[in-house]
């Protein structure tokens, strides 16, 4: 079984050439319906071809590889059982390195050359937001994004199918913990200087405003770098009691490590996208007490025997024997479960319209994580719950 986990993944590394980008405005409601051929792109008698652009290398590579492994653990399981209505799922995965331009180029390849039926499990805010005009023009669904960005939720778009809770929901819960439960009123924000970080900054400002507060300091860094020193200095000078961190594991780990070296130890809080398992690994002992919100329950040491987590860990062990369970991997696994459920509900004569209708029909779907998932017409975010975890002796443990 050693190589089974990659049998239906086709990883393509595009040659760097100048791309002609489709920069089209939002979806035109008066646009004619797709032709029968377009509506069934990626569908053959034996397979359903879906496409993903995500970071498989570079500073966010952990997130993409974990997401892909989790998704493929379930897709391989479904394929081994005969697939969906006699068709096996083939996932074409392209590496974008967490770069928006590469993500746009990859998405063009997936739609125009690979002719995938739908897009699936993209990773990151700046990358995913960049392709919204292309999605609207091609009228192709995108299901399950590793981002809680508000721009993927408002305005409501049936082509953008979110599974996880939003960053606004995560941050609102965290600010409530800081202000109401721990009595902290000096909150700073450290953020990645791009669409992801701006979204988190706005979410923090909105949440603090409820309590008549504003961030006491703001520090940022450029995506893809570890240049955190200037932002750290600004926040240290503010004497913040808590720091909301909107970044990736490498930059946030360096920020926390340098802060501790300066004896600056506020409450460090990270949103789920940080990649908490890798953050904990990089911080080691100095990570004790760092708080991370999650959009899925802990995949290990949860102590509650949730059947959805048991299924994830069992299938991960089967198809990726050397892999360890992670929050991001569990999220990818859940995305794949929703993909398979929608494909099944859409029937043998599947079209993109029927796929979206199938998504809308999913209500109170039991994922085995004690958090039922529901969509509906006009509601394209399936989960709402936010979980609190903290680093304890190098592991993430749930905070009741």
Residue pLDDT, tens place only, 10-28:
444 433 333 333 333 334 4
Q: Is residue 399 part of a domain?
A: no
Range of the domain at 159: 4-164+306-384
Model confidence at 79: pLDDT above 70:
yes
Model confidence at 38: pLDDT above 80:
no
Percent of the chain with pLDDT over 90: 86
Q: Is residue 45 part of a domain?
A: yes
- pLDDT, residue 31, reads 47
Model confidence at 163: pLDDT above 60:
yes
Q: Identify the band that residue 259 occupies on the pLDDT scale cut at 50, 70 and 90.
A: very high
Q: Identify the band that residue 215 occupies on the pLDDT scale cut at 50, 70 and 90.
A: very high
Say what the pTM is: 0.89
Q: What is the mean pLDDT of residues 267-292?
A: 96
Q: Are residues 135 and 187 in the same domain?
A: no
- pLDDT, residue 35, reads 62
Mutual angle of helices 195-209 and 167-176, in 10-degree steps: 40
Q: Is residue 301 part of a domain?
A: no
Q: Are residues 276 and 174 in the same domain?
A: yes
Q: Is residue 394 part of a domain?
A: no
- pLDDT, residue 26, reads 38
- pLDDT, residue 33, reads 57
Percent of the chain with pLDDT over 70: 90
Model confidence at 174: pLDDT above 90:
yes
Where is the domain boundary, 294, 319, 342? 294
**What CATH number did the domain enclosing 331 receive?**
3.40.50.2300
Q: What is the mean pLDDT of residues 326-354?
A: 97
Question: What rounded mean pLDDT belongs to the chain?
Answer: 91
Model confidence at 319: pLDDT above 70:
yes
């Amino acid at each position: 079984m050693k190589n089974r986990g990659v049998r239906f993944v086709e990883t393509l590394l595009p040659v760097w050439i100048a791309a002609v980008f489709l920069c089209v405005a939002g979806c035109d409601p008066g646009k004619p319906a797709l032709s029968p051929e377009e509506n069934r792109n990626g569908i053959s008698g034996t397979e359903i071809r879906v496409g993903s652009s995500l970071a498989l290398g570079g500073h966010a590579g952990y997130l993409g590889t974990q997401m892909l492994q989790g998704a493929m653990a379930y897709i391989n399981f479904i394929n081994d059982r005969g697939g969906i209505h006699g068709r096996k799922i083939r996932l074409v995965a392209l590496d974008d390195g967490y770069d928006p331009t590469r993500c746009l180029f990859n998405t063009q390849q997936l739609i125009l050359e690979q002719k995938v039926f739908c897009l699936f499990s993209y990773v990151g805010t700046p990358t995913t937001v960049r392709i919204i005009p292309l999605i609207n023009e091609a009228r192709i669904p995108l299901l399950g994004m590793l981002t809680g960005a508000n721009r993927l939720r408002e305005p409501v778009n049936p082509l953008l199918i979110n599974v996880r809770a939003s960053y606004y929901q995560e941050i609102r819960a965290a600010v409530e913990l800081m202000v109401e439960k721990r009595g902290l009123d000096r909150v700073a924000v450290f953020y990645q200087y791009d669409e992801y970080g701006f979204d988190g900054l706005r979410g923090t400002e909105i949440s603090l405003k409820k309590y008549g507060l504003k961030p006491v300091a703001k520090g940022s860094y450029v995506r893809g770098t570890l240049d955190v020193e200037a932002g750290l200095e600004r926040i240290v000078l503010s004497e913040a009691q808590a720091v909301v961190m909107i970044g990736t594991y490498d930059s946030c780990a360096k920020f926390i490590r340098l802060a501790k070296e300066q004896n600056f130890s506020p409450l460090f809080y990270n949103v789920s996208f940080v990649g908490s398992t890798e953050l904990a690994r990089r911080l080691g002992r100095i990570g004790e007490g760092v708080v991370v919100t999650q959009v899925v329950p802990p995949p290990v040491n949860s102590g509650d025997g949730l059947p959805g987590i048991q299924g994830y860990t069992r299938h991960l062990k089967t198809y990726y024997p050397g892999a360890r369970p992670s929050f991001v991997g569990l999220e990818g696994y859940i995305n794949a479960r929703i993909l398979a459920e929608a494909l099944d509900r859409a029937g043998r004569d599947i079209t993109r319209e029927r796929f979206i209708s199938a998504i809308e029909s999913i209500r109170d779907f039991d994922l085995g994580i004690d958090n039922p998932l529901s969509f509906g017409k006009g509601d394209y975010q399936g989960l709402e719950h936010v979980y609190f975890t903290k680093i304890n002796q190098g592991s993430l443990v749930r905070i009741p």
